[in-house]
Amino acid sequence: MTDKSPSLRTPMGKVRYLGSARSGTRHMIHTRLTAAALLPLSIIFVGIVLSLVGKDYVTVRATLGNPFVSIVILLFLLAGIYHMMLGMQMIIEDYIYGEHTKQWSLMANTCFAIAVGLACAYAVLRLSFV
């Protein structure tokens, strides 16, 4: 038995599982993956921060200079910033109606996320290599 009901999706769209905007599924998957990655990374990050409460400067620098700690913090920050960028992109696409305003807002969102990501990566790498 074949289903002959009319569909608005093209055959290629059915194969690729893409919606009308051509990127909704990928965007949703990236949002879910970053959220899933942030769950354990957040727990570890909070544990690291709580272990440093009340410690002196030298101990904090030594702990943050540990390669494992630096990698965990870097992964937490980059996943969080990417998740933030995806969330703001959804808000911009849903609630800003002018095309030019929407495009400029999306570009500003991307530039802001890149700037914050680079600043965070620089800070973590500087702590880990000095």
Q: What is the CA radius of gyration of the chain?
A: 21
- Rounded to whole angstroms, the Cα distance separating 115 from 121 reads 10
Report the pLDDT value the prediction gives residue 79, as an integer from 0 to 100.
Answer: 97
- Rounded to whole angstroms, the Cα distance separating 76 from 67 reads 14
Whether 128 has a pLDDT exceeding 60, the answer reads yes
For the chain, domains (ranges, CATH) are 32-129 (1.20.1300)
The one-letter code for the residue type at 6 is P
pLDDT band at 80 (very low <50, low <70, confident <90, very high): very high
Q: Comparing C-alpha atoms, which of 82, 77, 81, 75 is closest to residue 30?
A: 82
The vertex-95 CA angle with 93 and 99, nearest 5°, equals: 60
Report the pLDDT value the prediction gives residue 130, as an integer from 0 to 100.
Answer: 74
pLDDT band at 129 (very low <50, low <70, confident <90, very high): confident
- Rounded to whole angstroms, the Cα distance separating 4 from 58 reads 71
- Write the pLDDT tens digit of every residue in 2-21: 556 666 666 766 666 555 55
Please state the length of the chain: 130
Report the pLDDT value the prediction gives residue 17, as an integer from 0 to 100.
Answer: 56
- pTM confidence score: 0.79
Q: Comparing C-alpha atoms, which of 43, 30, 124, 25 is closest to residue 79?
A: 30
Count CB atoms within 10 A of the CB of residue 41.
Answer: 20
56: left (phi over 0), alpha (psi -120 to 50) or beta: beta
Whether 46 has a pLDDT exceeding 70, the answer reads yes
Whether 83 has a pLDDT exceeding 60, the answer reads yes
- Write the pLDDT tens digit of every residue in 51-71: 999 999 999 999 999 999 999
Burial of 107 (0-12, 13-18, 19+ CB in 10 A): exposed
